[in-house]
Copies of this chain bind each other. A is one copy, B any other.
Amino acid sequence: MSSKRSETRQKLLQTTVNLLEKGQGKGVRMADIAVAAGVSRQTLYLHFGSRTELLIAATRYHDDQLDVEKRYQKVAETTNASDHLNAFIVFWGEHVPLVYNMAQALWEDADKDGAALAAWNDRMNATKTVCQLAVATIESEGLLSPSWTVETGTDFLFALLSIRNWALLTRTCGWSEVEYINRQQLVARNALFL
């Protein structure tokens, strides 16, 4: 009967994901989640110690549903640095919209809560690693512009592709997904190659 517990846990996570995704992540309270899941507020604290823990668990849960590894395959399968970079930016341009609202909820808490900050940094480091891979590939083919080292080039690409930049360009400036991808490819290529 320990399956009832994990059933409830799953329901809570799913409800949290749903609310965060639709509500733009803004001001989703513990009470809101409890009501939406048809459960008492205290049950949330029984399963997750705090709002931050719930947020982190929900983020992971959501990630698992997205099957990121599989979609990253196309990047991994490329055979040269230029294709790799382009494929990576395509991947990223398609990935961020799926993750944005969850990420936003996390970083809003990162101001106050150390655990949320840690979780946020975790995710950021993961994406920086893939940036690093892309730049290292360019360097290994001798195509990295002498203006950059692998490290600083990675920093730049990481900043260029940051989620907040994505939000600024697509949400605030109104770029479409395709425009975002094409222009970021262009900028990254012009900056890093030669």
Contact = CB atoms under 8 A, between A and B. Distances in A.
Interface of A: 26-27, 108, 111-112, 147, 152, 155-156, 158-160, 162, 164-165, 168-169, 173, 175, 179, 183, 186-187, 190-191
Contacts of A159: 165, 168-169, 173
Contacts of A111: 26, 108
Nearest to A162: B168
Q: How many copies does the complex hold?
A: 2
Contact of A186 (B108, B168, B191): B191
Contacts of A156: 169, 183, 187
A162 B179 CA distance: 19
A173 B191 contact: no
A98 B183 CA distance: 31
A158 B173 CA distance: 10
Contacts of A168: 158-159, 162
A194 to B, nearest CB: 9
- Top 6 A-B pairs, shortest CB-CB distance: A155-B173, A190-B190, A187-B191, A164-B164, A159-B168, A159-B165
30 contacts: A26-B111, A27-B112, A108-B111, A147-B183, A147-B186, A152-B175, A152-B179, A152-B183, A155-B169, A155-B173, A155-B175, A156-B169, A156-B187, A158-B168, A158-B173, A159-B165, A159-B168, A159-B169, A159-B173, A160-B160, A162-B164, A162-B168, A164-B164, A164-B165, A165-B165, A187-B187, A187-B191, A190-B190, A190-B191, A191-B191
